[in-house]
Amino acid sequence: MQEEDSPSGFETVNVDEARELIEKGDIFILDVRTPAEFNESHIEGATLIPVTNSGGSNLSPDQLLEARISEVPRDKKILVYCRSGRRSAAASQILVDAGYTGVYNMEGGINEWIAAGHPVVS
């Protein structure tokens, strides 16, 4: 894991470290992909709040993370993931910029999670 004082303000974890965080509990799992991607497969217990309109999704700005940030609890660690790790890094930065701490970006996204054999809900 990267050191806590990483310049970005969030920690990047691999899928095995992410699974350990989930197993310890008291973590908010944030999926920042599109509704279509989420419906295809997601980590059990994840909350969908898309970070951008990508993959042909037509969400209005008030349905995206910056507008819905109040839905993310401030009293828990937050594990953020997307498909490959790019959108989740951007989302993690949005959270840190908004004053959140204990933010973890899952490197490699759900693609890496599935490749490692970790369970998903589909």
Chain segment 34-93, per-residue pLDDT in tens: 999 999 999 999 999 999 887 677 888 889 999 999 999 999 999 999 999 999 999 999
Residue 2 is among the residues annotated as catalytic for this protein: no
Q: What's the pLDDT score for residue 6?
A: 54
Confidence of residue 4 (pLDDT cuts 50, 70, 90): very low
Indicate the number of domains in the chain: 1
Q: Kindly provide the residue ranges of all beta strands, DSSP E only, lying in 17-72, ordered along the sequence.
A: 27-31, 47-48
Q: What's the pLDDT score for residue 52?
A: 85
Which of 46, 79, 82, 89 is flagged as catalytic?
82
Question: Is there a domain that residue 19 lies in?
Answer: yes
Residue owning tokens 């197993």: 23
CA-to-CA separations, 33 to 5, 24, 86, 95, in angstroms, rounded: 27, 24, 10, 15
Domain of 57 in residue numbering reads as 11-115
Question: Is there a domain that residue 95 lies in?
Answer: yes
CATH number, domain of 75, equals 3.40.250.10
Question: Is there a domain that residue 120 lies in?
Answer: no
